[in-house]
């Protein structure tokens, strides 16, 4: 049909003459972005309400003319539908596409509109890019380059506004750079429902501020810095520390909780400078918590383990491994894994436990009250990985009472621990002194202090792997920075031990190698390879674990199964 209606419920629209098919009501900016083109915009954000104030996304819009009498499209001489263009340009962000719409995003009039809006935005802008943290990822800079006039016609005095306003413990505001797009205001109102930001004064003197007596201090405040299209809102942690164009951005997963927030780790020359959210519409949209962003500080924690030790004395790595091997060869060995370990580590750790004839496998739970948004009750990012790999078959416990009993009864004389502090998990120091502890981990704790063998490990930023989040979504993280010199990847350590025990898995020292085996060996991982795992992850079948009483409440894109809640109650 000429109006473009087709049977699958989708409609035809024409963007700069190119025919595109989309569901009715699609947002014009989103559609054009999906075509690999761009409609420049500042105030529009796909996860916030449409405010339509920046006027940067003006386009020319036409609709098929309708005959009022018959309700049918009017045809021109060639029999094609007659298109009526609106006399004024319209904002693309508030345009929901209907059948047969014509859009011009590149016409002379549209270019003129963009140039004019940019000129207006820049007249009162301080133009302080050389000292501005946003430089390099600033939409004002980018669009001024792409669509701007290139010189200023403005010779009046600029409006003076407050600089360096502290909005909260983590966010700083420069009002002169603010273009009043209201993204941050809408974020606080709509996403975190902490209505603390607003505008005062009028016209060009309009100023962003906190309500009197309030601060921007919620645990998602730094998202306002991410969505600020200019350098008005900056992170007090990151500002003035690094030029963004030097940062290498590595996709990663936040280990704060079982939500598995997708992140980008910004690093330069082996040092992490910031963590920002990575869009995943199935998990975290475009948001992440402030607390999750601070986790990179653990890399340089004073508690960090960098030496291989046997009986508290530094040794060569191979000596530590052979000492560990000697203790593994006993017949009273227990294994304590970690909900922070990757799927690959769980796999090899489980192989090791079987090879050593483990008398008990356990995992330490780590729970607290979540916020119902991006922090869940389960502070371990990968409990489901341990379950899928069969390292454990029940949920982890806060107190390892089973292990404590076995130690007391003399049924366990050696414990292999991955990253966990046994002294806070129900195994006091007096109990620990009865066993030999082999500790593999990135940071020191009560368990490592009493351990006979200590093997240092890597943080999530220094290795690659996968986690399985609360939705049973398998998600990949990649190595952003190298680990401390001499420290082995946990996968390498465990596979070497397996090698020393003469096991086949001893040659699997990388995630890709592990997955080549895993995808064949376990049905739930069938057809998955590490290299081709999508950036947004892959949903696994978690039905086998449905009856387990997970401690999860709802989060942004997750609803716990009713059976689970009942089981918990």
Partner 1 sequence: MAAERKILLQHADEAYYSPGILNYLAQGGYEGLKKALKQKPEDLRQEVLRSGLRGRGGAGFSCGLKWSLVDRKSGKPIYLICNCDESEPGTFKDRQLVHKDPHQVIEGMMIAAYANDVVQAFIYIREEMPLGAKILQGAIEEARSMGFVGENICHSGFSCDIVVHRGAGAYICGEETGLIESMEGKRPYPRIKPPYFPAVLGLYQCPTIVNNVETLCNIVHIVRLGGEAYARIGRHGNTGTRIWCVSGMVQNPGYFEIETLTMKELLYDLCGGPLPGRKFTGIIPGGASMKILKVDDNFRNRDGRAIGFEDIIIDFDGIQAAGSMSGSAGMIVLDDSVNIIEALANIIAFFAHETCGQCTPCREGSYWARNILARMCSGGAREEDVALLYDLAGNIGGRTVCPMGYSITWPVRSYIDKFRDQFEANAGSNTCGVESFSERLIEK
Note the residues at the interface with partner 1 (CB under 8 A). Answer: 50-56, 58, 87-89, 91, 94, 96, 112-113, 116-117, 119-121, 123-124, 151-157, 159, 179-180, 198-199, 201-206
Of residues 47 and 109, the one with the C-beta less far from partner 1:
109
Q: Return the H-helix or E-strand segment holding 568.
A: helix 562-568
Angular region, 136: left φ>0, alpha ψ -120 to 50, beta rest = left
Q: How far is the CB of 205 from partner 1 (least distance, A)?
A: 8
Task: Select 198 or 251, whichever has its Cβ closest to partner 1.
Answer: 198
Q: Which one, 152 or 532, has the nearer CB to partner 1?
A: 152
Question: In terms of DSSP bridges, do strands 360-363 and 333-337 run parallel, antiparallel, or are they unpaired?
Answer: parallel
Query: Quick check: 432 and 291 in contact, CB under 8 A?
Result: no
Whichever of 156 and 193 has its CB closer to partner 1, that residue is 156
Best CA proximity match to 457, nearest among 475, 445, 439: 439
Judge residue 300's burial from the number of C-beta atoms within 10 Å of its C-beta, 0-12 exposed, 13-18 middle, 19 or more buried: exposed
Q: How far apart are CA 13 and CA 102, in angstroms?
A: 6
Rounded CA separation 171/233 (Å) = 6
Q: Which is nearer to partner 1, 113 or 453 (CB)?
A: 113
Cβ–Cβ under 8 Å, residues 471 and 558: yes
For the CB of residue 120, give the shortest distance to partner 1 in the complex, in Å.
4
Query: In this complex, which beta carbon is closest to partner 1, that of residue 78 or of residue 193?
Result: 193
* Min CB(21)–partner 1 separation in Å: 23
Query: Residue 84 to residues 65, 66, 76, 88: CA-CA distances in angstroms?
Result: 6, 9, 11, 12
Quote the least distance from Cβ 6 to partner 1, whole Å. Answer: 24
Least Å distance between CB 39 and partner 1? 15
In angstroms, give the least distance from the CB of 180 to partner 1.
6
Residue closer to partner 1, measured from CB, 195 or 300: 195
> Whose CA is closest to 374, among 235, 260, 467?
260
Q: Report in angstroms how near the CB of residue 110 gets to partner 1 at its nearest.
A: 11
Do the Cβ atoms of 400 and 422 come closer than 8 Å?
yes
Max intra-chain CA distance, the chain: 96
Minimum gap (Å) between residue 60 Cβ and partner 1:
12
In the bound state with partner 1, the residue whose beta carbon lies nearer, of 104 and 406, is 104
CA 244 to chain centre: 18
Dig out the tokens for 508 from the structure: 């699997």
């Amino acid at each position: 049909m000429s109006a473009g209606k087709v049977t699958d419920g989708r409609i035809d629209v024409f963007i700069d003459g190119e025919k595109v098919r989309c569901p009715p009501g699609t947002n014009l900016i989103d559609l054009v972005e999906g075509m690999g083109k761009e409609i420049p915009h500042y105030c529009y954000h796909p996860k916030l309400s449409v405010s339509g104030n920046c006027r940067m996304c003006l386009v020319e819009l036409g609709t098929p003319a309708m005959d009022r009498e018959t309700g049918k499209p009017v045809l021109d001489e060639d029999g094609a539908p007659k298109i009526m263009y609106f006399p004024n340009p319209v904002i693309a962000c508030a345009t929901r596409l209907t059948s047969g719409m014509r859009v011009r995003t590149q016409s002379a009039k549209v270019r003129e509109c963009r140039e004019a809006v940019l000129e207006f935005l820049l007249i009162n802008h301080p133009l302080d890019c050389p000292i501005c943290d946003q430089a390099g990822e600033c939409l004002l800079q980018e669009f001024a380059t792409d669509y701007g006039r290139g010189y200023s016609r403005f010779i009046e005095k600029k409006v003076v506004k407050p600089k360096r306003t502290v909005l909260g413990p983590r966010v700083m505001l420069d009002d002169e750079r603010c273009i009043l797009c209201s993204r941050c205001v809408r974020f606080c109102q709509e996403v975190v429902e902490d209505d603390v930001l607003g505008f005062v004064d009028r016209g060009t003197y309009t100023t962003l501020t906190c309500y009197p007596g309030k601060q921007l201090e919620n645990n998602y405040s730094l998202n306002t810095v991410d969505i600020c299209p200019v350098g008005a809102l900056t992170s007090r942690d990151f500002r003035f520390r690094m030029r963004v164009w030097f940062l290498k951005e590595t996709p990663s997963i936040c280990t704060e909780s079982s939500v598995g927030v997708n992140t980008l780790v910004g690093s330069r020359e082996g040092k992490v400078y910031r963590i920002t959210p990575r869009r995943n519409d199935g998990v975290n949209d475009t948001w992440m918590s402030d607390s999750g962003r601070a986790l990179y500080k653990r890399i340089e924690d004073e508690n960090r383990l960098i030496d291989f030790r046997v009986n508290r004395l530094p040794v060569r790595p191979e000596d530590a491994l052979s000492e560990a091997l000697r203790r593994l060869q006993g017949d009273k060995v227990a294994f304590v894994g970690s909900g922070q370990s990757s799927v690959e580590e769980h796999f090899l750790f489980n192989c090791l436990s079987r090879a050593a004839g483990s008398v008990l496998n356990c995992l330490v739970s780590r729970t607290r009250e979540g916020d119902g948004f991006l922090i869940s009750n389960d502070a371990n990012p990968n409990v489901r990985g341990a379950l899928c790999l069969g390292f454990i078959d029940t949920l982890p416990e806060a107190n390892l009472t089973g292990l404590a009993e076995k130690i007391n009864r003399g049924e366990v004389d050696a414990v292999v621990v991955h990253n966990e502090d046994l002294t806070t998990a129900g195994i006091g120091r007096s109990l620990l002194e009865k066993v030999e502890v082999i500790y593999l981990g990135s940071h020191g704790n009560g368990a490592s202090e009493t351990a006979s063998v200590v093997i240092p490990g890597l943080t999530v930023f220094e290795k690659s792997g996968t986690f399985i989040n609360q939705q049973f979504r398998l998600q990949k993280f990649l190595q952003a920075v190298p680990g401390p010199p001499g420290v082995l990847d946990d996968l390498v350590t465990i596979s070497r031990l397996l090698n020393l025990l003469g096991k086949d898995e001893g040659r699997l020292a990388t995630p890709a190698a592990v997955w080549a085996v895993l995808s064949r060996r376990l049905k739930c991982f069938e057809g998955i390879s590490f290299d081709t795992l999508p950036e947004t992850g892959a949903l696994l079948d978690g039905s086998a674990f449905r009856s387990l009483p997970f401690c999860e409440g709802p989060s942004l894109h997750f609803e716990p199964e009713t059976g689970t809640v009942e089981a918990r109650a």
